[in-house]
Amino acid sequence: MSKDNPDNSRRKFLSGSLTLVGGTGAAATLWPFLSSMAPSAKAKASGASVEVDISNLEEGQKIDLIWRKKPVWIVKRTKSMLDSIDTNEGKYKDPMSENIEQQPEFAKNKFRSLKPEILVLEGVCTHLGCNPAYKPDRNNGELGKDWQGGFFCACHGSKFDLAGKVESGSPAGANLKVPPYRFVDENTIIVGELPTNDEKSKG
């Protein structure tokens, strides 16, 4: 993105609320190198877009950030995580992401993303707004032998796959939302801005 783009004046780097969560979901660590770039309270409230460096994001990890006062996750999916994603009509309420309110047009695909390996989701359950937990491990004791990894909302038991698709039988009625976002380069994502047509074709 050119430096004279007017959007630059609105964009703020994120820091204090940004965390990395490992594949087990056990550890959360602040990124110290971003700690001096906290957006002002006014900028956060205004819904400024957020620029995120994902160069340190390892396979299976999740970054948590805040955009427009909502939690947003960025997950770097492994090949096996991608292999677990399917569009089985019986298994999901909206397997083909037909509900246009739940994602930008560019994410209406199997992986619900611009690049298959990078998932960006709003971390807000579409039932009553709780924050689902990241449960990437398959067949864990808590969620049963058929669990392929995904997100689990403990409030009322909604299950979402690793693309944020809600499973049939969950109280939540819609897939987790994909916010607008775009890649500035391979390691930089701006949450809150849509990609240009050129950027979409490269994804």
Residues in contact with ligand FES by the rule CB under 6 A: 125, 127-130, 153, 155-158, 171-172
Dihedral of CA 119/95/172/167: which sign?
Answer: negative
Minimum distance, C-beta of residue 122 to ligand FES, in the bound complex (Å): 13
Q: Token pair of 16, please?
A: 């204090």
Quote the CA–CA distance of 179 and 141 in Å, as a whole number. 31
Q: Which of 157, 180 has the CB closer to ligand FES?
A: 157
Q: Which of 38, 124 has the CB closer to ligand FES?
A: 124
Among candidate residues 146, 130, 7, the one with its CA nearest the CA of residue 86 = 146
Minimum distance, C-beta of residue 172 to ligand FES, in the bound complex (Å): 5
Contacts of residue 155, Cβ cutoff 8 Å, sequence gap at least 6: 125, 127, 128, 130
Minimum distance, C-beta of residue 159 to ligand FES, in the bound complex (Å): 9
Minimum distance, C-beta of residue 135 to ligand FES, in the bound complex (Å): 14
* CB 14 within 8 Å of CB 65: yes
> Which of the 8 DSSP states describes residue 171?
S
Q: Which of 37, 128 has the CB closer to ligand FES?
A: 128
Quote the CA–CA distance of 109 and 24 in Å, as a whole number. 27
Cα end-to-end span (Å), the chain: 16
Q: Which of 16, 173 has the CB closer to ligand FES?
A: 173
Minimum distance, C-beta of residue 164 to ligand FES, in the bound complex (Å): 13
Q: Which of 130, 194 has the CB closer to ligand FES?
A: 130
Contacts of residue 27, Cβ cutoff 8 Å, sequence gap at least 6: 20, 21
Q: Which of 156, 202 has the CB closer to ligand FES?
A: 156
Quote the CA–CA distance of 97 and 37 in Å, as a whole number. 35
Minimum distance, C-beta of residue 125 to ligand FES, in the bound complex (Å): 3
